[in-house]
Amino acid sequence: MNPASNLILVGPMGAGKTCIGKRLAEHFGLRLADADREIEQRAGSSVAAIFEHEGEAGFRARESAVLAELLAGDGLLLATGGGAVLAADNRRLLRERGFVVQLLVTVEQQLERLAQDRSRPLLAGSDREQVLRTLAAQRAPLYAEVADLRFDTGALSSAEAATRLAEQLDPLWRRPQASSAPHPYSGVNA
């Protein structure tokens, strides 16, 4: 059992990290952060524009900085971007600072879920299926490396997935309660 106070969702685009994350954050009383939205807010620009002007390397540097800042705190549900696991330092940070759930989805399910989505720079080419298959082959082992739990979202709505995942998490993950920490003045004579 990983006692980390943060809950982190990793997985490919279209797996449901943000939608499921919203419901889980509410269930567990956590603050929700979507890494890609945080990057966009801080940059004042979309992920696509960052990719266009700074390239993927520039985006990944921003991503690493945002992950480090967000995970410095406690009581967070973090929905990561699909490529957050690419950097070894990010994988270490995810493992150290959270209970990590890998959300699973097939390429066919991703294609269906992302059919109308034109905001993702890595899917801007003509052969989306091949891109998703290549990304899956590259990233799936990295998701598995950091995961404390693997959960298949493929055949479920986000509401169903969040409910079932919460049921699985309840006995596995207990975030430390703030009241369980010693009072800063305990044991000190006043």
Distance CA 21, CA 26 (A): 9
Indicate whether 182 belongs to any domain: no
Write down the pTM of the prediction: 0.87
Q: Tell me: the pLDDT tens digits for 175-188?
A: 655 433 333 333 33
Q: Which residues are annotated as a binding site for Mg(2+)?
A: 18
Indicate whether 159 belongs to any domain: yes
The parent domain of residue 85 ranges over 7-169
Specify whether the CB–CB gap between 83 and 69 falls below 8 A: no
Q: What is the largest CA-CA distance in the chain?
A: 70
* Total domains present in the chain: 1
Q: Which residues are annotated as a binding site for ATP?
A: 14-19, 120
Indicate whether 81 belongs to any domain: yes
Indicate whether 93 belongs to any domain: yes
- In total, the chain counts a number of residues equal to 190
The CATH number covering residue 127 comes to 3.40.50.300
Indicate whether 181 belongs to any domain: no
Indicate whether 127 belongs to any domain: yes
Identify the helix (H) or strand (E) that includes residue 100.
strand 99-104
Indicate whether 188 belongs to any domain: no
Q: Which residues are annotated as a binding site?
A: 14-19, 36, 60, 82, 120, 139
The confidence score (pLDDT) of residue 175 equals 63
The confidence score (pLDDT) of residue 3 equals 66
Indicate whether 28 belongs to any domain: yes
The confidence score (pLDDT) of residue 176 equals 53
The confidence score (pLDDT) of residue 148 equals 95
Mutual angle of helices 128-146 and 88-97, in 10-degree steps: 50
Q: Please list the ranges in the chain whose pLDDT falls under 50.
A: 178-190
Q: Tell me: the pLDDT tens digits for 26-45?
A: 999 999 999 999 999 999 99
Q: Which residues are annotated as a binding site for substrate?
A: 36, 60, 82, 139
